[in-house]
Amino acid sequence: MDFDLPEEHQAFRDVVRRWVDTEIPKEWSRKLEADEHNYPHALWEKFTEAGFHGVGIAEEFGGQGGDVLMQMLLARELARSLGGLAWIWGITSFAGSKSIGLYGTPEQKAKFLPEIAAGRLKAAISFTEPGGGTDLLGNLATTAERVEGGWVLNGEKIWSSSAHVADYLLCIARTDKTAEKKHQGLTLFWVPAKSEGIKITPLPKLGMRSMGSCTVVYDNAFVADENVLAEPNNAWYTLLPTLNNERIMVGAFCLGVIDGVLEDALTYVMQRKAFGKYIGQFQILQHYIADIATMQTSTELMLHYCAAKQAKGDNVGKEANMLKLMASENANMAADLGIQMLGGMGYSAETDMQRYWRDSRLWRIGPVTNEMIRNGIAESLGLPRSF
């Protein structure tokens, strides 16, 4: 197996890395994240100017092209500075370009993909429900009733990041109440976010604060037939390939966080003195650094394996789950060690370790909890279902 990046991918990574250091340095990212009441439109515009919204979108629709690995390289480099705010790019990439690009109609692709690539369209994911959490299918209460020319949505979603600034919401709803199994009778809707009957309310939270996460209430909100994605009543099977992509993207974001943690930790321990010498000379801190570097390499190998496997069209469900599990726990552990090495400064809002820790803590919970990930891996190995 060749572990080296193709030349084109290396060149892209290097360009993005330099761009990140120049355009979105950590100090700016830190201040941006702290402003809980203002969405970082300036960051979105920087992505637009750089053409990043078009990565993964075919050139015929105004995009930059690029495969899964190219998208993951971008995600990793952005997260090195932005941490969880890299989702500002990732949400629309997943909810819009990936979803519509994979199962949109020719008309939907022609209408929406150029808008996404040009940075003129923001999207948000509207899946999770207040009583559901990880049990998305078992507690899916949002419904859509057939009416002339479309559907009427009713229900409530929660933790819909960036919904308050989104142009469209990728929403899943139950459209067949008589379906025998809970994964049947579901439909995906591409909902104009400013439609009558939609109320969006931001929620305060621990990390990724300026990005905003929201509740979305659908109260007899009309969605036209042309905004149904893929086949009605068959949304779950439609979603599965993109859910694997989302887990791989989370792995890339987590790896970027590990990169940032290691970078900052190495700088700090070679500048800070205690007991008459640089703390980088202390064996225990060297062990922490070695552990983080090992987490970085193991996560990187798994990420590239999953991205290459998905790019070939292979079934990557189990491996994507393993990557998400390993990457999120490695990132959060690395950030925790980073705080410990920096001591009081690691806990201070003046440094980035606390931000890396807060952001990576979420990825152990979402988009699916690591406990459920472990259940799925065990079941894939032939063990009986435990839930």
Q: Report helix, strand or coil for 351.
A: coil
DSSP 6: P
Mean pLDDT, the chain, rounded, equals 94
Closest CA to 125 of 73, 150, 90: 90
Q: Are strands 168-174 and 186-192 parallel, antiparallel or unpaired?
A: antiparallel
Residue with tokens 């078992």: 138
pLDDT at 96 over 80: no
pLDDT 10s digits, 293-349 = 999 999 999 999 999 999 888 999 999 999 999 999 999 999 999 999 999 999 999
> What would be the CATH architecture of the domain defined by 7-122?
Orthogonal Bundle (1.10)
Section 166-179 average pLDDT: 95
For 10-14, 145-149, 164-168, 231-235, which range has the lowest pLDDT when averaged over its residues? Answer: 231-235
pLDDT 10s digits, 198-225 = 999 999 999 999 999 999 999 999 999 9
Q: Cβ distance 124 to 170 under 8 Å?
A: yes
Q: Cβ distance 357 to 326 under 8 Å?
A: no
Burial string for 52-80 (b: 16+ CB within 10 Å, else e) reads bbbbbbbeebbbbebbbbbbbbbbbbbbb
| Backbone phi and psi for residue 128, each to the nearest 5 degrees, phi listed first | -65, 145
Section 137-151 average pLDDT: 93
Categorize the per-residue pLDDT at 1 as very low, low, confident or very high, splitting at 50, 70 and 90.
low
Section 110-139 average pLDDT: 91
| Backbone phi and psi for residue 336, each to the nearest 5 degrees, phi listed first | -65, -45
Domain boundaries, the chain: 7-122, 125-234, 236-380
pLDDT at 387: 83
pLDDT at 97 over 80: no
Domain 236-380 has CATH 1.20.140.10: yes
Section 77-85 average pLDDT: 98
Superfamily of structural domain 125-234: Butyryl-CoA Dehydrogenase, subunit A, domain 2 (2.40.110.10)
> Rounded to two decimals, what is the model's pTM?
0.95
How far apart, in whole angstroms, are the C-alpha atoms of residue 129 and residue 29? 30
Residue with tokens 């952005």: 78
pLDDT at 99: 87
Question: CB-based contacts of 91: which residues, under 8 Å, 6+ apart?
Answer: 122, 123, 124, 125, 161, 162
pLDDT at 238: 85
Closest CA to 173 of 236, 130, 118: 236
pLDDT 10s digits, 146-165 = 999 999 999 999 999 999 99
pLDDT at 177 over 70: yes
pLDDT 10s digits, 18-34 = 999 999 999 999 999 99
| CATH fold match for the domains 125-234 and 236-380 | no
Q: Cβ distance 144 to 187 under 8 Å?
A: yes
pLDDT at 350 over 80: yes
Closest CA to 354 of 2, 79, 30: 30
Categorize the per-residue pLDDT at 130 as very low, low, confident or very high, splitting at 50, 70 and 90.
very high
